Chains A and B, each alone.
Chain A
Amino acid sequence: MSGRKVIIDTGNSAVAYAVKDAEAKVIAAYPITPQTTIVEKIAQFIEYGQMDAKMIRVESEHSAMAAIIGSEAMGVRSFTATSSHGLALMHEMLWYASNARLPVVMAVANRTMGPPWNIWADWGDAMADRDIGWIISWAANNQEVYDFTLISYRVAEDKRIVLPAMVNLEAFVLTHTSMPFEICGEETREYLPEYDPAWKLDPDDPIIMGNLFSPADTMKLRWDMWESMERAKKVIAEAIREYNERFNRNYEGLIKTYKMDDADYAILSMGTMGEEAEVATDVLREEGLKVGTVRINFFRPFPREDIIKTLNGVSRVIILERSSSIGASGQIMQDLGQSLLLEKMQLDVNDVFIGIGGTDVSYEDIVNIVKKAIKGDLAPLYWYGSEGW
């Protein structure tokens, strides 16, 4: 087997390579900045004969998701990618993918929703789709972008799960930033076998998907999705373990912890801010503050048990959120809240909105925030920089 090699390329290219290595056969997509270079590269792979797949250049994102729902329902591994307004337009069809139990995979280049027009990073686009029954991951670097895409196919198609999966990568910070990452090439085949659908549209065995159902039968179907998503915690962990062994990675699981063993204070975040928080952690440690970082890799299913376990012994959590549920709190805060309630645990929490609309977030910002929080000088719900507005 061959094909494993390290390349230097963008996050969008990492997605394209992963889709090629996953041997997805139908790709439907509509262009939106900053997703475009994903589908440009896939189109090039196909047209240059490096990838055996069919590309449907649809006339909208709604049709992109609809088309891969059609191809996946026929039993063919499918893919799309979008961002921001494109994802919002798809929203209706995301339900069809999950409720019809079609394990499609989609990359989302997280971008701010308008108005005003803003093409930079923000989690708000994907957060609006968190309650639909999709497996949702957030990458922090291009290696994770590539790896999470393959892991997503493996988990989504697992017969114990059969739910669609979304891989998030933040606009420009990842989509258009080059860094080294290893691709698995043909070795992917050992990890991700040929797609064997749980159900498909086949004249030899005709079934009807999605006609009128009674309320009671519908509720059972939703329960089954709930159970599958709960089960996904275990299946993702398994899939990551096997991925680590096969490709020499060292992913911890649904979350990544950094210096949490003896931490008094924890920074909780996702994506690139979660990685930046590790740098801040080192700086704060040098100043004698026992800080650690928890980064959520998989946001759905929400890794409640893992987070609660690592927060045991911590007195304060500082959450960095690149989106807000306006009128309530940040979305990570909401999920941490439900976790604390369910585990009968109490913690001091600062929910910090930062990086919204693509504003730059450096480790220095995070250091300042954490220091203020530890001193007790930070409101529980705090918009970073808002004192000057």
Chain B
Amino acid sequence: MVTVKDLAKMEDLLLKGNAACAGCPIGVALRTTLKALGKKTIMFVPACCTSVVQGIGPGAAISVPLFNTAFETAASVASGAAAAAEILGKDVTILAWAGDGGTYDIGLQAISGAAERGDNVLYICYNNQMYSNTGIQRSGATPLGAWTTTTWTGKTEHMKDMGMILIAHRVPYVAATSVGYPDDIYEKVKKAKEKKGFRYIDILAPCPPGWRFPSDMTIRLGKLAIETGFWLLYEYEDGELRFNGYTKLVAEGKREFKPVEEFLRLQDRFRHLFEPKRRDDILEEIQRWIKERFEWYLSLAKI
């Protein structure tokens, strides 16, 4: 298992001078991903914060070839590139790198098509649970109760379960991880790289301006999301679902999930659930949802 110290020594392909905000989870997620994949990687990026993080053209702050494409096309452009790589006999990783808006919502059809066809694409969603690049609007990945600029009093629906949608496609590899654990991201990307066909990794990416928390707390929130069961660490591989890290410990009965409030309270996107009046109805529903979702996963998993 790689350590965070090991990661620090590896060559950076996300360069200094990139345009990420302070505390941006892309800095962790993309840096770690590119360390795991190496230089023989070609990226396809739809409209998302990474469009901006690259910096202003004609310069660029990412050291692998990258094609910026339309919002809903990360998977489909990558499908074409994967076909071309096969024709050319090129040993490269075709990486579709998209936010949750481009994945859970507008890009879903193209992802489903590429997954069903088994196109040789590694699709990674860095998931900050909203349309962050356009100014924090609600997406299909936004959790119940979260404030966004299109849900001022809190989203009234739960997030979509994208991982399960991909598992239902029976692709070779599906994983969920979190910016709280760069070592877990690294291991999962590395494993996905070695597989052929359509592979999907969903990286939970706590966003300081979007989730409204101080920029030094990105990693802490990435860990708390896992420790509370709000997000799960798992891998679906060769038809089997397994848990990792803290999620695995809970599944094995060695730990318990912390109350979700510990995670929610640190983010101002949930402040209206605590003041001026405590919203027990929503807080209890989130806690219930976590329990029910985890039981669903447990029923499918080999621990």
| Residues in A lying within 8 Å of B, measured CB to CB | 25-26, 28, 53-54, 56-60, 62-63, 66-76, 78, 92-93, 96, 100, 201-203, 205-214, 217
- Which residues of chain B are near A72, meaning CB under 8 Å? 80, 84
Most central of B82, B83, B86 by chain A CB within 10 Å? B83
Taking a contact as CB atoms under 8 Å apart, the answer to whether B58 and A209 are in contact is no
Taking a contact as CB atoms under 8 Å apart, the answer to whether A56 and B52 are in contact is no
Most central of A60, A76, A96, A206 by chain B CB within 10 Å? A206
Q: Which of A63, A71, A207 contacts B83, CB < 8 Å?
A: A71
- CB within 8 Å for A76 and B51 given contacts A203-B39, A208-B65: no
| Residues in B lying within 8 Å of A, measured CB to CB | 39-42, 44, 51-52, 54-58, 60, 62-70, 72-73, 75-88, 90, 92, 109-110, 112-113, 116-117, 119
- Taking CB as reference atom, which chain A residue is nearest B74? A66
Q: Which of A70, A93, A205 contacts B81, CB < 8 Å?
A: A70
Q: Which of B39, B52, B84 contacts A25, CB < 8 Å?
A: B84
Taking a contact as CB atoms under 8 Å apart, the answer to whether B76 and A66 are in contact is yes
- Which residues of chain A are near B85, meaning CB under 8 Å? 74
- CB within 8 Å for A63 and B81 given contacts A25-B87, A74-B88, A212-B56: no
Q: What separation, in Å, do the CA atoms of A209 and B70 have in the docked complex?
A: 12
- Which residues of chain B are near A213, meaning CB under 8 Å? 56-58
- Taking CB as reference atom, which chain A residue is nearest B112? A59
Q: Which of A66, A92, A205, A210 contacts B80, CB < 8 Å?
A: A66
Q: What separation, in Å, do the CA atoms of A75 and B83 have in the docked complex?
A: 11
A26-B87, A206-B64 known, 8 other contacts, Cβ within 8 Å: A62-B110, A63-B73, A67-B79, A96-B73, A203-B42, A205-B65, A207-B60, A211-B51
Q: What separation, in Å, do the CA atoms of A266 and B119 have in the docked complex?
A: 53
Taking a contact as CB atoms under 8 Å apart, the answer to whether B69 and A66 are in contact is yes
Q: What separation, in Å, do the CA atoms of A73 and B65 have in the docked complex?
A: 11
Taking a contact as CB atoms under 8 Å apart, the answer to whether A203 and B60 are in contact is no
- Which residues of chain A are near B72, meaning CB under 8 Å? 62
- Which residues of chain A are near B55, meaning CB under 8 Å? 211-212
- Which residues of chain B are near A214, meaning CB under 8 Å? 56
Q: What separation, in Å, do the CA atoms of A59 and B76 have in the docked complex?
A: 9
Taking a contact as CB atoms under 8 Å apart, the answer to whether A67 and B80 are in contact is yes
Taking a contact as CB atoms under 8 Å apart, the answer to whether A54 and B87 are in contact is yes
A198 to chain B, nearest CB (A): 15
Q: What separation, in Å, do the CA atoms of A214 and B69 have in the docked complex?
A: 18
Q: What separation, in Å, do the CA atoms of A202 and B64 have in the docked complex?
A: 8
A82 to chain B, nearest CB (A): 14
Taking a contact as CB atoms under 8 Å apart, the answer to whether A208 and B54 are in contact is yes
- Which residues of chain B are near A208, meaning CB under 8 Å? 54, 57, 60, 62, 65-68
- Which residues of chain A are near B109, meaning CB under 8 Å? 59-60, 63
Taking a contact as CB atoms under 8 Å apart, the answer to whether A93 and B84 are in contact is no
Instruction: Give the A-B pair count, Cβ closer than 8 A.
Output: 161
- Which residues of chain A are near B42, meaning CB under 8 Å? 74, 201, 203
27 examples of A-B residue contacts, CB within 8 angstroms: A26-B84, A56-B79, A58-B79, A59-B113, A62-B110, A63-B75, A63-B76, A66-B69, A66-B79, A66-B80, A67-B77, A70-B81, A70-B82, A73-B81, A73-B84, A74-B80, A74-B88, A78-B84, A203-B41, A203-B42, A203-B92, A206-B63, A208-B57, A211-B51, A211-B54, A213-B58, A217-B57
B36 to chain A, nearest CB (A): 15
A364 to chain B, nearest CB (A): 47
Q: What separation, in Å, do the CA atoms of A53 and B87 have in the docked complex?
A: 8
Q: What separation, in Å, do the CA atoms of A69 and B39 have in the docked complex?
A: 22
Taking a contact as CB atoms under 8 Å apart, the answer to whether B60 and A211 are in contact is yes
Q: Which of B54, B64, B82, B92 contacts A212, CB < 8 Å?
A: B54
- Which residues of chain A are near B116, meaning CB under 8 Å? 59
Q: Which of A66, A206, A212 contacts B73, CB < 8 Å?
A: A66
Q: What separation, in Å, do the CA atoms of A206 and B75 have in the docked complex?
A: 20
Taking a contact as CB atoms under 8 Å apart, the answer to whether A56 and B117 are in contact is yes
B102 to chain A, nearest CB (A): 12
Taking a contact as CB atoms under 8 Å apart, the answer to whether B56 and A210 are in contact is no
Taking a contact as CB atoms under 8 Å apart, the answer to whether A63 and B113 are in contact is yes
Taking a contact as CB atoms under 8 Å apart, the answer to whether B70 and A93 are in contact is yes
Q: What separation, in Å, do the CA atoms of A210 and B65 have in the docked complex?
A: 11
Q: Which of A53, A60, A96, A217 contacts B58, CB < 8 Å?
A: A217
A305 to chain B, nearest CB (A): 34
- Which residues of chain A are near B70, meaning CB under 8 Å? 66, 92-93, 96
- Which residues of chain B are near A201, meaning CB under 8 Å? 42, 65-67, 81
- Taking CB as reference atom, which chain B residue is nearest A207? B65
- Taking CB as reference atom, which chain A residue is nearest B121? A70
B13 to chain A, nearest CB (A): 9
- Which residues of chain B are near A217, meaning CB under 8 Å? 57-58
- Which residues of chain A are near B86, meaning CB under 8 Å? 54
Q: What separation, in Å, do the CA atoms of A213 and B117 have in the docked complex?
A: 35
Q: What separation, in Å, do the CA atoms of A208 and B13 have in the docked complex?
A: 13
- Taking CB as reference atom, which chain B residue is nearest A95? B70
Q: What separation, in Å, do the CA atoms of A74 and B83 have in the docked complex?
A: 9
Closest 10 pairs (CB-CB, A-B): A70-B80, A59-B113, A67-B80, A74-B84, A210-B68, A63-B76, A66-B76, A70-B77, A71-B84, A70-B81
Taking a contact as CB atoms under 8 Å apart, the answer to whether A209 and B73 are in contact is no
Taking a contact as CB atoms under 8 Å apart, the answer to whether A70 and B63 are in contact is no
- Which residues of chain B are near A66, meaning CB under 8 Å? 69-70, 73, 76-77, 79-80, 110
A61 to chain B, nearest CB (A): 10
Q: What separation, in Å, do the CA atoms of A78 and B51 have in the docked complex?
A: 26
- Which residues of chain A are near B56, meaning CB under 8 Å? 211-214
- CB within 8 Å for A206 and B87 given contacts A26-B80, A58-B113: no
Taking a contact as CB atoms under 8 Å apart, the answer to whether A58 and B76 are in contact is yes
